[in-house]
């Protein structure tokens, strides 16, 4: 490895540290995060003996707001036919994902749990069909549909010949607590 | 050739004159149901498939000829203005309510959308209280694979039993007196994306059931069950080798294009027929004389047509099958290699039309989703005429010599660009909601839509139990800006007699009555009665939700004529309301949401049956 390369690598790493920014962080082969199936993400909002909502899954930070994870999730969203039911966020056979209403919770770990476990009104369970990393990536992308992610992390163009406006135009919708929406 | 043309023109002119004369005569005549004899220039229902009215309504199409015509004539243009609510019934459901109530022996049977509960209401008692309630516990997961709302298109009453299909792929038979379940047979698998939304047809001891899932990569088929036991008698697939399609020596297609060996395999890329759609989610008709059952097949899958070069048989066409054996008598492909989701599952009205030398041709009348109104000889499948009844810019016409639909090459979707202004849009010039046919006027009353769309296609991946579409669609109003149209169509003269423009897409079926009235509903809840001859609006009533269900007419225990209609918006067109979809995404609900962005502010979900009568 040439010293020039080493130096520039160090410079980039330093820059990233200074910016405190992991928007562009790429982990093509996945970071060993141990057991990465989101299990702690209860969609519930009432807790016996006092309100202690579970803290955000520590693995969430690696995916949320990360451009690479979002781009991967965006691709999977089409490839795995998520768009067939949820369209580009407006819904169809499945509920809308861009309206800030969340039957099973709108946090990234709650969304990942919905993808992994499925839901009883027709959402299939993708556990074992996708890697855990892919499930997190999908969840990261789903968060962008309601504008929860900074504009410089989302893709300006869709992967498909979409009839939808670019995602950078998505208006942020406040995430309501888990509710049975209908 | 020119001489033949001149003769045809002369015949048409004579027919039109006779029709006009007949129409004028009828206008002054008292309203009766006697339409048998003097109807030389009109289509008349196939006699064996359309018996005289007994005041009941036992199947969604009213009779095997699918006329949706009630002979009852107490309610007329003169008194319909006084029509008022007799009673209402809430189903407790809020999904799209398409199923007509059935009335048999003073009992009304109401079938709900998922979870497909059935209520038997006693019409002899004030307020029509329930005699029994049947709850089948239909799987909730089925909702996730029902492409266009968890709807149900109705039950059928026959021989003391009630037959209906459950969304999760089962057909059940109930004792009509007690509501007890007699048998339950699985005929579709939700793991493969199959559901059942259609109403069965019960004839000749068979219960005929088709699967839904043309957007899920299913393999379409019609299954015949034994009426008594529920056991499977035969299965006729829409794709695959001849032995699966039940094509044998009896198969005589009307045109060379539909003849050949194993076309259900060879008109597809290798293996694609296994996931090629051709589902059977619409309407069946039956000719007891010919013993043939007629029905259309859905679009091929995926919507992205570049993934399936070939004619994709036997999708988007009409089958005639022997009801006893399921063997195919003939097949006609209305839309070979469908590019836009133009299913061919619409209703088929069996009627006899004037032929040469004063003879009558046993025919079928079909307003197809591709926008053409087909009149076909139902013995052979030969097309007698095919004229557009809506705005079309993707097909030039139908060549009667070859039976071939002529596409416009420039309107073929290509990967890598969005094709604009496709008319009609994916739901076609008309979707599932059936027309009514009045033997009095000889007209077909077509509730339909006027939508165009933009479409971008991309590769679709097949994953069992998930959508197999590969297209981004965005629909909008067609020329004129009205999204719905109600057309009265003369099938003999091949022209529209009148047309009513409706702002919202028309998603409700029509009902024609012996009183010379036609009823239909709008998605914002107006239930309307119009004059069957002129289309003049005579009466309307605002129901609680939107109307996408079949209105019916029956004779009550008191001898009076009643009109009933379900109110409950939904289905593909109303999914924006029932599923709370987001209008900010124009591609939502396969692109339909963009065409009905205003619907959420105009109507809310519901599920109520309204019953109307004249004041006593």
Q: Which of B98, B194, B341, B454 is catalytic?
A: B341
What does the pLDDT average to over A104-122? Answer: 91
- What digits encode the pLDDT tens for the residues B214-259? 999 999 999 999 999 999 999 999 999 999 999 999 999 999 999 9
pTM of the model: 0.91
HEC secondary structure over B339-389? CCCCCCCCCCEEEEEECHHHCEEEEEEEECCCCEEEEEECCCCCEEEEEEC
Q: Tell me how far the alpha carbon of residue B420 is from its chain's centroid.
A: 28
Chain B, nearest residue to A76 by Cα: B461
3-class DSSP assignment, residue B437: strand
> Which pLDDT does position B26 carry in this prediction?
37
**Cβ-Cβ contacts under 8 Å, B584 against chain A:** 89-90, 98-99, 171
Question: B472–A181: do the CB atoms touch at under 8 Å?
Answer: no
Q: Which tokens in the block code for residue B229?
A: 């036991």
**Cβ-Cβ contacts under 8 Å, B147 against chain A:** 93
**Cβ-Cβ contacts under 8 Å, B588 against chain A:** 87-92, 96
Whether residue A120 lies within 8 A of chain B, CB to CB, comes out as yes
**Confidence bin at A22 (pLDDT 50/70/90):** low
* CA–CA dist A10, A6 (Å, integer): 6
HEC secondary structure over chain A? CCHHHHHHHHHHHHHHHHHCCCCCCCCCCCCCCCCCCCCCCCCCCCCCCCCCCCCCCHHHHHCCCCHHHHHHHHHHHHHCCHHHHHCCCCCCCCCCCCCCCCCCCCCHHHHHHHHHHCECCCECCCECCECHHHHHHHHHHHHHHCCCCCCCCCCCCCCCCCCCCCHHHCCCCCCCCCCCCC
Nearest-neighbour CA in chain B from A86: distance (Å): 7
Question: A90–B583: do the CB atoms touch at under 8 Å?
Answer: yes
Residue B10 lies in a domain: no
Residue A164 lies in a domain: yes
Residue A150 lies in a domain: yes
What's the CATH number where A153 sits? Answer: 1.10.760.10
Confirm if B431 and B478 have CB atoms less than 8 A apart: no
User: Which has the closest alpha carbon to B434: B567, B543, B334, B552?
Assistant: B552
Beta carbons within 8 Å of A67's beta carbon, 6+ residues apart: A23, A24, A152, A153, A154, A155
Strands B118-122 and B107-111: antiparallel
Beta carbons within 8 Å of B590's beta carbon, 6+ residues apart: A87, A92, B147, B148, B215, B341, B426, B469, B471, B473, B572
Residue B131 lies in a domain: yes
* CA–CA dist B616, B610 (Å, integer): 18
* CA–CA dist A12, A61 (Å, integer): 21
Q: Which of B117, B211, B299, B450 is catalytic?
A: B299
Residue B20 lies in a domain: no
Whether residue A81 lies within 8 A of chain B, CB to CB, comes out as yes
Question: B461–A81: do the CB atoms touch at under 8 Å?
Answer: yes
Question: B147–A93: do the CB atoms touch at under 8 Å?
Answer: yes
3-class DSSP assignment, residue B493: coil
Strands B201-203 and B206-210: antiparallel
Residue A98 lies in a domain: yes
> Which pLDDT does position A7 carry in this prediction?
63
User: Which has the closest alpha carbon to B167: B232, B121, B237, B99?
Assistant: B99
Active-site residue B472, yes or no?
Answer: no
Question: A120–B140: do the CB atoms touch at under 8 Å?
Answer: yes
Active-site residue B194, yes or no?
Answer: no
Q: Which of A93, A124, A130 is the mutation pick for testing B, counting most B CBs within 10 A?
A: A93
Residue B83 lies in a domain: yes
> Which pLDDT does position A43 carry in this prediction?
77
**Cβ-Cβ contacts under 8 Å, A88 against chain B:** 472, 585, 587-588
**Confidence bin at A179 (pLDDT 50/70/90):** low
* CA–CA dist B259, B278 (Å, integer): 18
**Peptide linkage before B613 cis (omega within 30 of 0):** no
* CA–CA dist A127, B193 (Å, integer): 19
Size of interface A-B (CB pairs under 8 A): 129
Residue B242 lies in a domain: yes
* CA–CA dist B211, B195 (Å, integer): 6
Beta carbons within 8 Å of B577's beta carbon, 6+ residues apart: B546, B569, B570, B599, B600, B603, B604, B605
Beta carbons within 8 Å of A177's beta carbon, 6+ residues apart: A45, A102, A105
Whether residue A179 lies within 8 A of chain B, CB to CB, comes out as no
Residue A123 main-chain phi, psi, to 5 deg: -70, 120
Confirm if B513 and B75 have CB atoms less than 8 A apart: yes
Residue A42 lies in a domain: yes
Q: Which of A78, A79, A84, A102 is the mutation pick for testing B, counting most B CBs within 10 A?
A: A84
Question: B582–A89: do the CB atoms touch at under 8 Å?
Answer: yes
Q: Which of B585, B592, B605 is the mutation pick for testing A, counting most A CBs within 10 A?
A: B585
**Cβ-Cβ contacts under 8 Å, B587 against chain A:** 87-88, 90, 162-164
**Confidence bin at A5 (pLDDT 50/70/90):** low
Question: A124–B465: do the CB atoms touch at under 8 Å?
Answer: yes
Chain B, nearest residue to A162 by Cα: B472
Active-site residue B215, yes or no?
Answer: yes
What's the CATH number where B418 sits? Answer: 2.140.10.10
Nearest-neighbour CA in chain B from A121: distance (Å): 5
Nearest-neighbour CA in chain A from B150: distance (Å): 9
**Cβ-Cβ contacts under 8 Å, A87 against chain B:** 581, 585, 587-590, 593
Q: Which residue is associated with the tokens 């259900």?
A: B264
* CA–CA dist B253, B260 (Å, integer): 10
User: Into how many domains does chain A fold?
Assistant: 1
Q: Which tokens in the block code for residue A14?
A: 């330093």
Q: Which of A91, A120, A123 sits opposite B579 (nearest CB)?
A: A91
Structural domain containing residue A145: 34-49+57-169
Other beta carbons within 10 Å of B498: 17
- What digits encode the pLDDT tens for the residues A37-94? 555 567 777 778 877 777 788 888 889 889 999 999 999 999 999 999 999 999 999 9
* CA–CA dist A58, B287 (Å, integer): 67
Q: Which of A75, A81, A89, A117 is the mutation pick for testing B, counting most B CBs within 10 A?
A: A81
User: Into how many domains does chain B fold?
Assistant: 1
Q: Which of A80, A84, A96 sits opposite B581 (nearest CB)?
A: A96
Q: Tell me how far the alpha carbon of residue B564 is from its chain's centroid.
A: 19
Whether residue A88 lies within 8 A of chain B, CB to CB, comes out as yes
Structural domain containing residue B80: 31-613
Question: B140–A98: do the CB atoms touch at under 8 Å?
Answer: no
> Which pLDDT does position A182 carry in this prediction?
35
Residue A12 main-chain phi, psi, to 5 deg: -65, -45
> Which pLDDT does position A49 carry in this prediction?
82
Residue A2 lies in a domain: no
Report chain B (616 residues): mean pLDDT per 10 consecutive residues: 59 52 40 47 93 97 98 98 98 98 98 98 97 98 94 98 98 98 98 98 98 98 98 98 98 96 98 98 98 98 97 98 98 98 98 93 98 98 98 98 97 92 98 98 98 95 96 96 98 97 98 98 98 98 98 98 98 97 95 97 98 96
Handedness of CA B379, B385, B391, B392 (dihedral sign): positive
Q: Which of A84, A89, A182 sits opposite B466 (nearest CB)?
A: A84
Residue B224 lies in a domain: yes
Whether residue A92 lies within 8 A of chain B, CB to CB, comes out as yes
> Which pLDDT does position A11 carry in this prediction?
60
* CA–CA dist B198, B181 (Å, integer): 19
Q: Could you tell me the CA-to-CA distances from B46 to A104, B50, B76, B287 in Å, in that order?
A: 54, 6, 25, 8
**Cβ-Cβ contacts under 8 Å, A89 against chain B:** 582, 584-585, 588
Nearest-neighbour CA in chain A from B456: distance (Å): 5
* Whether residue A9 has pLDDT greater than 70: no
């Amino acid at each position: 490895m040439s010293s020039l390369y080493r130096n520039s690598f160090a410079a980039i790493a330093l820059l990233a540290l200074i910016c405190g920014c992991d928007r562009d962080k790429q982990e093509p082969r996945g970071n060993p995060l141990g057991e990465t199936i989101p299990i702690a993400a209860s969609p519930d909002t009432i807790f016996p003996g006092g309100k202690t909502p579970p803290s955000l899954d520590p693995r969430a930070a690696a995916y949320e707001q990360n451009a690479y994870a979002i781009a991967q999730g965006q691709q999977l969203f089409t490839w795995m036919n998520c768009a067939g039911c949820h369209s580009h966020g407006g819904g169809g056979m499945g509920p809308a994902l861009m309206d800030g209403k969340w039957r099973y919770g709108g946090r990234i770990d709650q969304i990942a749990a919905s993808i992994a476990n499925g839901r009883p009104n027709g959402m299939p369970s993708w556990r074992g069909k996708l890697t855990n990393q892919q499930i997190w990536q999908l969840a990261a992308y789903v968060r962008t549909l309601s504008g929860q992610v900074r504009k410089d992390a989302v893709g300006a163009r869709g992967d498909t010949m979409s009839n939808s406006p670019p995602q950078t135009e998505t208006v942020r919708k406040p995430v309501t607590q888990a509710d049975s929406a209908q | 050739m020119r001489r033949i043309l001149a003769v045809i023109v002369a015949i048409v002119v004579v027919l039109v004159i006779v029709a006009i004369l007949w129409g004028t005569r009828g206008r002054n005549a008292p309203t009766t149901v006697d339409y048998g004899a003097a109807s030389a220039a009109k289509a008349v229902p196939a006699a064996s498939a359309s018996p005289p009215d007994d005041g009941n309504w036992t199947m969604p199409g009213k009779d095997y000829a699918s006329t949706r015509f009630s002979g009852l004539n107490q309610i007329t243009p003169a008194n319909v203005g006084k029509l008022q609510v007799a009673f209402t019934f809430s189903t407790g459901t809020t999904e799209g309510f398409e199923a007509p109530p059935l009335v048999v022996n003073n009992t009304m049977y109401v079938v709900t959308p998922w979870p497909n509960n059935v209520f038997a209401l006693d019409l002899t008692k004030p307020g029509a209280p329930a005699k029994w309630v049947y709850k089948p516990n239909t799987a909730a997961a089925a909702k996730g694979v029902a492409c266009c709302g968890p709807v149900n298109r109705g039950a059928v009453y026959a021989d003391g039993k009630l037959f209906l299909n459950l969304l999760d792929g089962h057909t059940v038979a109930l004792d009509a007196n007690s509501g007890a379940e007699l048998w339950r047979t699985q005929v579709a698998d939700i793991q493969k994306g199959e559901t059942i939304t259609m109403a069965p047809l019960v004839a000749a001891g068979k219960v005929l059931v088709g699967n839904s899932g043309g957007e899920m990569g299913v393999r379409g088929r019609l299954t015949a069950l034994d009426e008594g036991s529920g056991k499977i008698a035969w299965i006729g697939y829409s794709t695959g080798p001849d032995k699966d399609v039940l094509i044998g020596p009896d198969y005589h297609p009307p045109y060379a294009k539909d003849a050949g060996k194993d076309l259900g395999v060879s008109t597809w890329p290798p293996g694609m027929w296994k996931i090629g759609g051709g589902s059977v989610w619409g309407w069946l008709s039956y000719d007891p004389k010919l013993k043939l059952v007629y029905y259309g097949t859905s679009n091929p899958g995926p919507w992205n047509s570049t993934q399936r070069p070939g004619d994709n048989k036997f999708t988007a066409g009409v089958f005639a099958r022997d009801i006893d054996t399921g063997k195919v008598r003939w097949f006609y492909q209305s839309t070979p290699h469908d590019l836009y989701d133009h299913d061919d599952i619409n209703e088929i009205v069996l009627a006899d039309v004037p032929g040469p030398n004063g003879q009558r041709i046993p025919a079928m009348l079909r307003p197809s989703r591709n926008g053409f109104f087909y009149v076909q000889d139902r013995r052979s499948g030969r097309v007698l005429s095919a004229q557009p009844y809506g705005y079309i810019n993707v097909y030039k016409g139908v060549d009667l010599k070859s039976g071939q639909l002529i596409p416009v090459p420039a309107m073929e979707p290509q990967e890598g660009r969005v094709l604009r202004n496709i008319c009609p849009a994916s739901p076609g010039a008309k979707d599932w909601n059936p027309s009514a046919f009045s033997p009095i006027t000889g007209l077909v009353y077509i509730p339909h839509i006027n939508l165009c769309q933009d479409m971008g296609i991309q590769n679709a991946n097949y994953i069992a139990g998930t959508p197999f579409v590969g297209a981004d669609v965005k629909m909008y109003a067609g020329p004129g800006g009205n999204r719905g149209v109600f057309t009265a169509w003369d099938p003999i003269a091949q022209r529209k007699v009148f047309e009513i423009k409706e702002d919202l897409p028309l998603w409700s079926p029509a009902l024609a009555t012996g009183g010379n009235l036609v009823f239909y509903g709008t998605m914002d809840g107006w239930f309307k009665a119009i004059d069957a001859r002129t289309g003049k609006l005579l009466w309307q009533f605002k129901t609680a939700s939107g109307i996408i269900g079949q209105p019916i007419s029956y004779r009550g225990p008191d001898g009076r004529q009643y009109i009933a209609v379900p109110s409950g918006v939904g289905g593909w067109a109303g999914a924006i309301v029932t599923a709370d979809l987001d209008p900010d995404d124009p591609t939502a609900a396969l692109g339909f949401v963009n065409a009905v962005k205003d619907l959420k502010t105009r109507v809310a979900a519901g599920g109520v049956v309204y019953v109307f009568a004249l004041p006593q």
